[in-house]
Structure formats: C-alpha cells, structure tokens
Structure 1
Amino acid sequence: MEWYKNLYAGDSIIHRQKKVRWKIMHNAGMLRVYVITLASNENNLLDIIPSRELLQKHYPKKELYIVGLAGDYEEALEVAGHIISDVYRKTRGFDVRGYLRPEGKQGV
C-alpha cells in the first residue's frame, strides 16, 4: 500500500488524517472512513473503497495507491470530484494515474 505525498482529504477528516492513515496501515479499523485510490482497471479514473474492506485478510492491499481520504461516501464522491477537477485544471486532460503517480512508478 502506497500513499500519495499530497493526500487529498475531506473536511471531516482533514485534521485527523495522520491518525486515520496510521489506523489503516495497522488494520486498526476505521469503519466510517473511505479511501480513494487509483483505479484498479484502466477504464476508470479512481476507486472509492470503504476502509472496512481493507480489514479483510486477503484484500489486495499491496497494490493500492491511496490518493484521498473521506469521512463518508458522499464526502468521498466530493473528494474524488475535486481530484479529477485538479488534474483536468492542471493538465487539460484526465490522466489521473499519470499525474498522481510518482515518476518511474508504473503499475497500479
């Protein structure tokens, strides 16, 4: 699991994102938190995943590149929209993966 350097966060979570991040990394369970990741397939831009799914033993966490956090699903939609708007405003395109991934890191 990798984290975007300039992580996007919803208003309800912005002041506790370090704590939330730590809990997600240590499987401490954040039931009402959603993570926003680069899409798991090339047809989509982003995935919104309830953090409770990450608690499952065999969830493929290793391949996740987390770019945002939100306190509920509606906020996750807003954060995802903000991410896509930022990418479009800065690049005039929708290559979210290309814009957010660190140089030299392909894959997911």
Structure 2
Amino acid sequence: MKWYPDLYFGKQAEKKKDVILRRLRWNIGQLDVYLITEASNGKDLFDIVFAGELKQKAVRRNLPRIIGIAKGYGEALELVEQIVMESIDSLGTPDVKRYLREKSKQKDFDGC
C-alpha cells in the first residue's frame, strides 16, 4: 500500500489510529473503516473505499495512494470536505492534487 506522507485522520479514526494502521498493514478486516484514496480514474478528486474490500487481492494490489482514514462513511465525507476546503483556502482553487503535492514537499522541506 502507498501512503500519503501527511496522512489525514477523521476525529473518530484519530482515537484508534495505531490499531487501524496495524490492522490495515496486517490485512485484518475492520468494520466501519473507510480509506480516502487518490481517484482511480484520474478524473475525480478522490475515491472512498471500504477497508473490508482490501481482503480482495486485486483491490489491495491496485489501490491508489491512501490520503486519509475515517471511521464511518459520514466521517469520510467530512474528511474529503476538509481536504478540499484546505486546498481552496491555500491555493484559491479546488486543485487537490497540486495542494497535496505542495503540502508534502513543504513538510519534507520543514523536516530538514
């Protein structure tokens, strides 16, 4: 699995962050956990994927980069909204791909 360097977490997912990440890495099924990924079709902003789908090898193998993790579909929608609003506030446009790319570069630069 490919991960965004500055992974987003929903409020409920943040509380169980370590457990969720461990279970994702070990391919242990989780109820009510959703992943926000880059769009698989290249046209949309994001895909919201139920973590249970990762039990299928083809889904796991072809999963785009994970940008965020949420506990519940509603929280996943809120997280997507938050990312889009951050992009608009930062760039003035909903160009989320550019925003995330610049944000990860800035984080790398700040860490030096």
TM-score, L = length of structure 2? 0.81
Q: Give the Cα separation in 1 of the matches to 2:33 and 2:81.
A: 17
Taking the aligned partners of 1:58 and 1:82, their CA distance within structure 2 comes to 30
Structure 2 residue aligned with 1:26 = 26
Structure 1 residue 63: Cα displacement = 4.4
CA-atom RMSD in angstroms: 1.7
Range 62-71 or range 35-44, more displaced: 62-71
Q: Secondary structure at the match of 1:13?
A: helix
Structure with the higher fraction of residues in helix conformation: 2
Paired position in structure 2 for 1:78: 78
> Alignment partner of 1:28: what SS?
coil
4+ aligned runs moved over 4 Å, structure 1: none
- Unpaired runs of 5+ residues, structure 1, are 104-108
Q: CA–CA distance in 2 between the matches of 1:98 and 1:26?
A: 31
Give the number of equivalent residue pairs: 103
Bigger-Rg structure (1/2): 2
Shift, 1:72, TM fit = 0.4
Could you tell me the percent identity over the aligned residues? 36
Contact 2:37 2:64 (8 Å CA) reproduced: yes
In structure 2, runs of 5+ residues without a counterpart are 106-112
Which AA in structure 1 matches 2:74? E
